[in-house]
Amino acid sequence: RINGGRLLLNINKAVKVRIYPTPLEQEILNKTFGWCRLLWNQMLAERNKVYQQLKEDSEALRVHKYKTEKEYKQEFKFMTEVDSKTLQYATRHLLEAFQNFFKGLKEARKVGYPRFKSKKHKQTYTTFNINNNIK
């Protein structure tokens, strides 16, 4: 991107590693995978339900306030056991999935509607590495 004659670069870095967790670390990973999956599925179900109720009224559908991950954490107290950033990213990924779906409809690309996550499929989550908090 060029800004005022200067070239600006955005650099993103990803690291893919194979890990061999201890039993305690495996338990933490399993909780994190489970709570992120639960949050995704709850938010997707809420959006599907609201759409079915308000599909005739596009203005009400557009301005509807959906629950945040904070409200889900109050409803499901055990979600406080995992890193809050992972739950924020689960929310962000769901919103990006919807944006990609609707953008694909406009551009006549084949992008599927967001699906519910299953325990049997790929287990992933995203988090921040702030001040080397990941060891």
- What are the backbone angles phi and psi of residue 83, rounded to the nearest 5°? -60, 130
Could you tell me the pLDDT band of residue 11, with boundaries at 50, 70 and 90? Answer: confident
pLDDT at 111: 83
pTM for the model stands at 0.76
Rounded Cα gap, residues 133 and 84, in angstroms: 13
Mean pLDDT across the stretch 61-89? Answer: 86
> pLDDT digits over 27-49, tens only?
988 998 999 999 999 999 998 99
pLDDT at 107: 81
Distances in Å between the Cα of 124 and the Cα atoms of 31, 33, 88 are 12, 7, 14
Residue spans of the domains in the chain: they are 23-106
Q: What percent of the chain has pLDDT over 90?
A: 21
- Chain-centroid distance of CA 114 in Å reads 11
Top-confidence residue, 8 or 68: 68
Q: Which two tokens stand for residue 80?
A: 């406080």
> pLDDT digits over 48-65, tens only?
998 888 878 878 877 888
> pLDDT digits over 93-128, tens only?
999 998 888 888 778 788 888 999 998 888 888 877
- For the beta carbon of residue 57, count every other beta carbon within 10 angstroms: 11
Rounded Cα gap, residues 102 and 109, in angstroms: 10
The single-letter DSSP state of residue 68 is: P
